[in-house]
A and B are shown apart, each in its own frame.
Chain A
Amino acid sequence: MRHLKRPTTPWPLAVTFMALLLSGPTHAGTASGDQSLTPIPERPAAPEFDLKDPEDRPQRLADYRGKAVILNFWATWCPPCREEMPSMQRAHEAVSGDGIALVAINVGEDADTIEQFLTNYPVEFPLPMDLDSRVVQSYPVKGLPTTFVIDPEGRLAYVATGGREWDDPKLLNQVRALKD
Chain B
Amino acid sequence: MPPQLGRLRAVLHPLLLLALTPLTSACAEDDPAQGIDPQAGLPFWAWQDASVEIRLIQRLPDQTRGFFIARGFSSESADRIARSCVFQSIQRNRGVGAAAPVVDLDLTQWQVTPLDDPKGSPRPLALKEAWDEEWEKAQESQAARIAFRWSLFPTRQTFRGGDYNWGMISFGLPPGTRFDLTLRWTLDGEPQEAILRGVSCASELVETDETAPD
Contact = CB atoms under 8 A, between A and B. Distances in A.
Given A25-B168, A36-B161, A75-B150, A3 B7 contact: no
The secondary-structure label for the interface of chain A is loop
Query: Which size class do A's interface residues fall under?
Result: 35 or more
Nearest to B164: A162
Interface stretch (B16-24, B55-63, B113-121, B189-197): B55-63
Contacts of A57: none
A33 B162 CA distance: 9
B160 interface: yes
A7 B208 contact: yes
A8 B7 contact: yes
B50 to A, nearest CB: 14
A162 B163 contact: yes
A133 B146 contact: yes
Nearest to A34: B96
A38 B161 contact: yes
A11 B54 CA distance: 34
Contact of A27 (B7, B166, B211): B166
A26 B40 CA distance: 6
| Most chain A C-beta atoms within 10 Å of own C-beta, residue among B159, B166, B168 | B166
Given A27-B55, A142-B154, 6 more contacts: A13-B11, A16-B41, A25-B151, A28-B166, A78-B151, A107-B150
Interface of A: 1-13, 16-17, 20-29, 33-36, 38-39, 75, 77-80, 107-110, 132-133, 136, 142-144, 160-163
